[in-house]
């Protein structure tokens, strides 16, 4: 564990690591702090309310801490993508790691479920996993192969929803393990981030198509093209202002989208490129993880009036064992360039 004081920056930048160590995901902790994974350093970092940064090393520099979330037990849980474990860190910095039963699984996304457990994606073995707070793991195979399961989130319907980056689909799994897939209408959309929106639907980013998709719990999909189709949206989260906020990795921006598809974009400081994960704190501040070694702070306006974008609606196409049309590589979540 190491402590250091923040370097203030007029653009809301806070340095949390050395360049190249890669802040990747970010989450608001139960202790009032902001937590982030240092994917290229095998560590997580805590930013306290006073701005003090504390770093906690896993002891495995190459384990690849990726996505993290607050668990029902008051600890932070995170995926270790490169050594195939699920990590847990208490707010005081105690580390635990749980090895997964399937070799080479490559866990990536993780979210707290409605059943008191954590749910995660196994990127390399086409599985969705469940881990209890005591470390008991159950895995559920997907009905497709080579799908590259990516982010996962708890839905408003009591199920977990996830993206399949290379199967070009969004999936739903019940807490009992029943899986349904919803193919996206745009070929090679390569979905990555997903979140439950404030409107009772699911929202995901399409890194390969430069679009944001809205999926109802019945599976109806609406896609909204972004102004810059090459911006490569990566992560998405619901905001306190009734919009969903997302990162544009290739364009160094964050954006917001209303439930009816109106888009607003904000450039990030040029000194801190490569935005990945993002999260809101209870006071409405948005934190974005930049692979340059920074977190960026932004306090959004609450009354947007952006220009509407087209809203083509596509009927739902559901499937269990039926494989959707595959996507194409987009750098891939868990790697530089996703």
Catalytic residues: 276
Q: Name the E strands within 156-272.
A: 160-164, 169-173, 179-183, 191-196, 202-206, 211-215, 221-225, 233-238, 244-248, 253-257, 263-267
The token pair at 38 is 């240092």
DSSP, res 308: P
Alpha helices in the chain (DSSP H): none
Compute the distance between CA of residue 57 and CA of residue 95 in angstroms, rounded to an integer.
8
- Say how far apart CA 70 and CA 197 lie, in whole Å: 18
Write the Ramachandran bin of 116: left for phi over 0, alpha for psi from -120 to 50, otherwise beta. left
What span, in angstroms and rounded, lies between the C-alpha atoms of 322 and 169?
A: 11
* Residue 84, SS3 per DSSP: coil
The partner residues of 111 in beta bridges, in order of sequence, read 119
The tokens describing 331, both together, are 């750098």
**In which region does residue 274 sit, left (phi positive, over 0), alpha (psi from -120 to 50) or beta (all else)?**
left
Q: Which helix (H) or strand (E) holds 45?
A: strand 43-47
CA distance 234 to 246: 7
Q: Which residue is listed with tokens 């847990």?
A: 88
């Amino acid at each position: 564990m190491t402590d250091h004081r923040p370097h203030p920056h007029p653009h809301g930048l806070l340095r949390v690591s050395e360049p190249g160590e890669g802040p990747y995901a970010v989450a608001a902790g139960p202790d009032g702090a902001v937590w982030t994974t240092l994917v290229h350093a095998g560590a997580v970092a805590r930013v306290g309310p006073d701005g003090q940064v504390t770093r906690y090393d896993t002891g495995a520099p190459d384990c690849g801490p990726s996505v993290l979330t607050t668990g029902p037990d008051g600890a932070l849980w995170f995926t270790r993508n490169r050594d195939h474990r699920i990590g847990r860190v208490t707010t005081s910095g105690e580390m635990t790691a749980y090895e997964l039963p399937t070799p080479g699984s490559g866990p990536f996304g993780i979210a707290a479920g409605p059943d008191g457990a954590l749910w995660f994606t196994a990127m390399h073995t086409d599985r969705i996993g469940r881990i209890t707070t005591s470390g008991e793991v159950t895995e559920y195979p997907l009905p497709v192969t080579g799908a590259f399961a990516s982010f996962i989130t708890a839905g408003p319907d009591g199920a977990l929803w996830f993206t399949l980056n290379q199967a070009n689909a969004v999936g739903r799994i019940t807490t009992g393990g029943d899986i349904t897939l919803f193919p996206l209408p745009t070929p090679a959309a390569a979905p990555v981030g997903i979140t439950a929106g404030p409107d009772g639907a699911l929202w995901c980013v399409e890194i390969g198509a430069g679009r944001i998709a809205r999926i109802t719990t019945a599976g109806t999909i609406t896609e909204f093209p972004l102004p810059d189709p090459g911006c490569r949206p990566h992560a998405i989260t619901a905001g306190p202002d009734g919009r969903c906020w997302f990162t544009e990795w290739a364009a160094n921006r964050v954006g917001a989208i209303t439930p009816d598809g109106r888009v607003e974009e904000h450039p990030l400081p040029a000194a801190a490129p490569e935005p990945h994960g993002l999260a809101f704190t209870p006071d409405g501040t948005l934190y974005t993880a930049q692979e340059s070694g920074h977190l960026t702070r932004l306090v959004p306006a609450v009354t947007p009036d952006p220009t509407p974008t087209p809203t083509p609606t596509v009927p739902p196409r559901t499937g269990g064992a039926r494989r959707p049309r595959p996507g194409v590589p987009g750098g891939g979540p868990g790697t530089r360039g996703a």
